[in-house]
Amino acid sequence: MTQDQEKAPGFWREPRMSALLVLADGLVLEGTGLGAAGEAVGEVCFNTAMTGYQEILTDPSYAGQIVTFTFPHIGNVGANDDDIETANRAASGGVRGVVIHAPITNPSNYRSTRHFDAWLKSRGIIGLCGIDTRALTTRIRERGMPNAVIAHSPDGVFDVEALRAKAAAWPGLEGMDLVPSVASTQRYEWTQSAWTQEKGYGLAGPAKFKVVAIDYGIKSNILRLLTEAGCSVTVAPSTATAEEILALAPDGVFLSNGPGDPAETGKYAVPVIRALLDRKIPTFGICLGHQMLALALGAQTLKMSQGHHGANHPVQDFTTGKVEIVSMNHGFAVDASSLPENARETHRSLFDGSNCGLELTDRPAFSVQHHPEASPGPRDSHYLFHRFVALMESAKAPA
């Protein structure tokens, strides 16, 4: 680059700074780049989890988002091939970028197989470190999740005005159906069981029930816990018709997590779910699947200001009275006041009172907003998979 280019408006060269987070309102945060070079636009959300950064960054529900962590030390235990949550390894979509506070240290964990920075590069994830992530979190809490561009240029040269314009022009997640960028397009069988200290991941054993899991961006550990609960699992694409699903003769249907605006995905998913509900097939939904079930009942969803992203969220289960510590990742929520008479609220966030679960009174279906497979409790919510099995057992029992 020439000296004249370096002096041009909107450019600067700062050897110590090789990454920027440029918010749509014009704020520019300078940091040190890590991971892949390039730029990406998305919605910035904060995650309060102190562990599980690799699972978070491979959760398909984060498609279209830039994740900033409130915990300052991210990457210090490296990365491995076991802690990846993307069930569809061929998916091109996912998290747009990551923002952390402290520089990445060398990995210190016996399970690590590579440095976190190298792992980010291998997955094409753009990163930035060295900013006050808690100040950014406070800004999000006060003003909501902003649209932004994260940019990493090793030479430290940026067209700041162009980045501002790109951030301001991005329409945001409302109205976006991001499921096609992360979900599988072909049907397949899932055979992996849960991880153990001694053996790692195993193979599914004999199954008592056949479950079809509709993939809106499904996480691997959901599928593993379904197999652990005694289910054989067929994963169907989000575009599968009710007829195609019914042809598999499932004992139950699972509605998966996923990214984007549920109202947009619902345009093609809701008619399918309604047809399955009409057949009274036991149904269980998580996250986006919870929102899809609510929409199929005629309820509404709404965009949250800061969303719920973390592993320390208290949720009360009204069916038992117990409080669970759960993992959450959602920027949209079900409007509990819009639920019909045949839908009962079963779970509620003790942080803000938002809806976190429902069950039908006239059909065998229920769902939760949180992620029972993520194990922050660590096993507080695993009972939900057994509740699903109980529904299937009841449906198969002789009249």
List residues with catalytic annotation: 287, 371, 373
CB 135 within 8 A of CB 142: no
C-alpha dist (Å) from residue 139 to 18, 136, 218, 312, 353: 23, 5, 31, 20, 22
Q: What gap in Å lies between CA 72 and CA 131, rounded to an integer? A: 10
Tell me, rounded to whole angstroms, the distance of Cα 212 from its chain centroid. 20
- Closest alpha carbon to 183 in 278, 88, 105: 88
Nearest-5° angle of CA 102, CA 105, CA 107?
Answer: 135
Phi, psi torsion values for 384, nearest 5 degrees: -65, -35
Preceding peptide of 154 cis, ω within 30° = no
Q: Give Cβ neighbours of residue 1 (< 8 Å, ≥ 6 apart).
A: 155, 157
Q: What gap in Å lies between CA 22 and CA 33, rounded to an integer? A: 14
- Closest alpha carbon to 67 in 21, 103, 102, 108: 21
- Closest alpha carbon to 365 in 315, 299, 293, 291: 293
Q: What is the SS3 string spanning 33-63? A: EEECCEEEEEEEEEECCCCCHHHHHCCHHHC
Q: What gap in Å lies between CA 256 and CA 269, rounded to an integer? A: 11
Hunting for tokens 């769902």 — which residue is that? 367
SS3 at position 28: strand
Nearest-5° angle of CA 134, CA 137, CA 143?
Answer: 145
